[in-house]
Structure 1
Amino acid sequence: MPDAVSVIATKRDGHTLSSDQISWMVDAYTRGDVADEQMSALTMAILLRGMTRVEIREWTDAMIASGSRMDFSSISRPTVDKHSTGGIGDKITLPLAPLVAACGAAVPQLSGRGLGYTGGTLDKLESIPGWRADLTADEMTRLLDDPAVGAVICAAGADLAPADKKLYALRDVTGTVESIPMIAASIMSKKIAEGTGALVLDVKCGSGAFMKSLDQARELAATMVELGTDSGVDTVALVTDMSTPLGLTAGNALEVQESLDVLAGGGPADVVELTLALAREMVAAAGLDGVDPADKLRDGTAMDRWRSMIAGQGGDPAAPLPVARHTHDVVADRDGVVTRVDAMAVGIAAWRLGAGRERQGQQVQAGAGVRMHVRPGERVSAGSPVFTLHTDTPERFDGALEALTDGWAVGDDAPAASPLILDRIGT
């Protein structure tokens, strides 16, 4: 039987871990038989030494085996899911899930809450009165198989890859989050355990993303596509730009409203573009030939699915969304063209206004966040608003303004246009 010290030494010295070593170590750590400091040493060795494709797959399998798998085989429609690695203003899941359901697929979207400057999908939806994130497996199956619904966005159960939850918390405090093999295994263990038949990944790249460079993003995307493929899940990834926030809003209720604009046939062009690009990938992966998601936005059926999905999870789709009690405008000091809006700066500003949390379990403000009035390439006049800050606690304005100080610029010439979708990885 393996032991923790020999497993650590194997990877420390640059050797390949065996299947037995990996499965034993993950299981023993999950059960509490391996100490935090020992798993910390192993994750640091993995960060420095890397892992082979086989090692990553076996590590992922071990994390899946630490809990239960979901089973949607009784659902009459093909299942397909999407995962984003996270970014600023990334509300794409909200219009995407009901849109793909309107095309004929079942979309079991397990999502999370935000921590730090990245917003959480569940936090956004919890700004809708009555909506609940926690569903039983039976409730999920019923809603997914309901011809009027077909999509759920909910929290993952505690028994879905519990090793990942414990490992992520450890990596977060030991400087080992940046390991691409472990990021890939963390994401894919939950997605494979979820039991979806196909998966589309949105891997963000840029200042507001975890992967700052295109090469890093491509490596992570390729690793996750390989993991999905090796596990029998049809998987494809889009690498997308996150140097500028998605859309015009960052914040919970603000992003819900922007998602409703998209479902109503409007909304910012970049949000519509990415929603449709991911929807087309998901529809194709589900084998639904001849269906164009754009038609479902135009004819209102995607909005109908949204209302049914929200109502099915206890929410009131007709209720007004929360509005922050205080606002503050950031204005341009000269005429010109917006040359830059930095995603990270906007994300930190929204977080400091109360849209995000500093620690797990902390409450967020539903109405807090940042609304942008212009995007790079658009003209502004001196004194016109560039951002409006929203919060219930006006003492937060100073911190948000500080975050934005160097986060945007106005010049004389428009910046060169850059594509939103940078690459596609998968068959």
Structure 2
Amino acid sequence: MNILEIIEKKKNKEALSQKEIEFFVDGYTKNKIPDYQMSALLMTIVINGMNDVETAYLTEAMMNSGKKINLSSIKGIKVDKHSTGGVGDKVSLVLGPIVAACGAVFAKMSGRGLGYTGGTIDKLESIEGFNCFLNEQQFKFLLKKSNIAIIGQTDNLVPADKKIYALRDVSGTVNSLPLITSSIMSKKLSTGSDAILLDVKCGSGAFMKNINEAKQLARWMINIGKKLKKDVRAEITNMEQPLGRMIGNKNEIIEVIESLKGNGDKKFMELIYSSATTLLIQAKIVKNEKEACKLIEEVIKSGKAFNKFLELIENQGGNIELIQKTNWWKPKYKLEINATKSGYLYLKNSVILGLVAVKLGAGRNKKEDIIDNEAGIELKKVTNEKVQKNEILMVLYSSKPIDKNLSNEVKKTFEINQKPKNNKIILAKME
């Protein structure tokens, strides 16, 4: 078997066998296949596609390229949630403590942010002392102790994906359903969870720009889960506007705390309730949506969900006393954006808001960039809220002086209308 024959076969639109797929994944991971040949193969896959069987083989081969985490020693159904990336996306940090407080085991491996999408690990690391990089034994210990642990991706987990994704990024081969599906699912399936909820973002602030594309990606990932005997479900969610009212790191942790105390933004909590309901049904903690909502409401009102968040932070070395202080977040500079007229606000471009947050210091363009945890954006008003002329719509924050020209960029992200607009956050549910 050799790589040229495999390239030729895919160039002729033929399906690859499991052994052929394992051969090129293993060969490239171990540096036996050069970049130029792998780039050629990836381009043929982008152009000619892969069927669902090939995609399942590719996912499995990538998953088996490194160490897999075995959580079978932990009782119960282990659940995980994956988002395809968004602006202000702190969902896992609210969702995890809620489902853990309800009795489910929330075993999550997260990544850092790059570009306009924020990373769960970066938000957690804004908490003094928090350690995301636990070994497998520590991860399992905390899951048994507290039902929840959130850790960073390790180097020995799915090395094939790490190497192939880096090549896709520079060879124009990112936009391919089989390659996207295998990349996401190989990582998710290698972490040992039994059930996975996929939050597939759709809209201007997402990779999938329309609902049909988002549904197609979700269906591919659900089918891969079924072939590999995992319970995978999906929600298609709106990414025209940011999630919640905070974009950044420290300020998003503050919003997480407020949400767990029952003071979360209405639309944001609608998504939390929906996702938590699905995970609790997958974990067989409840039988239906009515039971789930009652249990979710109980753990929030009783303080159990917030206490579970504190437990998560303390378990992983974070300073829980510091984050509960009112002056924990203290940016030095701010720039207010005001309404130019009265009406109903409509946020229409979360990408620009995400990019502005990066310019303020809240995100990174390169992996080496250092994040300013004080930087970010606070949305004083969100979509369909009534605003008065000159009222503050949002505030930009940073540890460094803020370029006033950023206000011109921010003004492109909203409009003020005479009537509210349709603003569904959950566009579809799939299983």
Shorter-chain TM-score above 0.5: yes
Letter in 2 for 1:366: N
Tell me what 2:57 maps to: 58
CA contact (8 A) 1:310 1:317 kept: yes
The CA RMSD measured in Å over matched residues stands at: 1.3
> How far off is 1:254 after superposition?
1.2
Q: 2:404 & 2:314 partners in 1: Cα distance?
A: 35
1:194 aligns with 2:191: yes
Q: 2:122 & 2:284 partners in 1: Cα distance?
A: 32
Q: 2:404 & 2:162 partners in 1: Cα distance?
A: 34
Matches within 5 A, 1:199-238: 199-238=196-235
Q: 2:149 & 2:404 partners in 1: Cα distance?
A: 35
Tell me what 2:360 maps to: 353
Tell me what 2:300 maps to: 297
- Name the stretch that deviates more: 42-51 or 202-211: 42-51
CA contact (8 A) 1:127 1:322 kept: no
Letter in 1 for 2:164: L
> How far off is 1:402 after superposition?
4.0
Q: 1:45 & 1:130 partners in 2: Cα distance?
A: 46
> How far off is 1:7 after superposition?
1.3
1:401 aligns with 2:407: yes
Matches within 5 A, 1:9-20: 9-20=8-19
Q: 1:299 & 1:126 partners in 2: Cα distance?
A: 27
CA contact (8 A) 1:353 1:397 kept: no
Tell me what 1:282 maps to: 279
Number of residue equivalences: 421
Aligned to 2:429, what secondary structure does the other structure show?
Answer: strand
CA contact (8 A) 2:334 2:402 kept: no
Residue 376 of structure 1, aligned match among 380, 383, 400? 383
Tell me what 2:256 maps to: 259
Letter in 1 for 2:143: L
> How far off is 1:411 after superposition?
2.4
Residue 418 of structure 1, aligned match among 416, 423, 427? 423
Matches within 5 A, 1:9-48: 9-48=8-47
Q: 1:322 & 1:9 partners in 2: Cα distance?
A: 57
> How far off is 1:351 after superposition?
1.2
CA contact (8 A) 1:341 1:375 kept: no
Q: 1:355 & 1:340 partners in 2: Cα distance?
A: 20
> How far off is 1:392 after superposition?
1.3
Aligned to 1:406, what secondary structure does the other structure show?
Answer: helix
CA contact (8 A) 1:221 1:237 kept: yes
Identity over the aligned pairs, expressed in percent?
37
Aligned to 2:396, what secondary structure does the other structure show?
Answer: strand
Letter in 2 for 1:275: I
Quickly say closer, same or farther: Cα 1:351–1:72, change in 2 above 3 A: same
Q: 2:246 & 2:8 partners in 1: Cα distance?
A: 48
> How far off is 1:401 after superposition?
2.8
Letter in 1 for 2:150: I
Aligned to 1:330, what secondary structure does the other structure show?
Answer: strand
> How far off is 1:100 after superposition?
0.8
TM-score by length of 1: 0.96
Structure 1: stretches of 5+ with no match in the other structure: none
Q: 1:174 & 1:397 partners in 2: Cα distance?
A: 37
Tell me what 2:170 maps to: 173
Residue 342 of structure 1, aligned match among 327, 349, 352? 349
Structure 2: stretches of 5+ with no match in the other structure: none
Q: 1:377 & 1:164 partners in 2: Cα distance?
A: 41
Aligned to 2:55, what secondary structure does the other structure show?
Answer: helix
Matches within 5 A, 1:85-124: 85-124=84-123
Q: 1:409 & 1:70 partners in 2: Cα distance?
A: 47
Q: 1:248 & 1:83 partners in 2: Cα distance?
A: 21
Quickly say closer, same or farther: Cα 1:56–1:397, change in 2 above 3 A: farther
CA contact (8 A) 2:334 2:396 kept: yes
> How far off is 1:397 after superposition?
4.8
CA contact (8 A) 2:335 2:402 kept: no
CA contact (8 A) 2:99 2:106 kept: yes
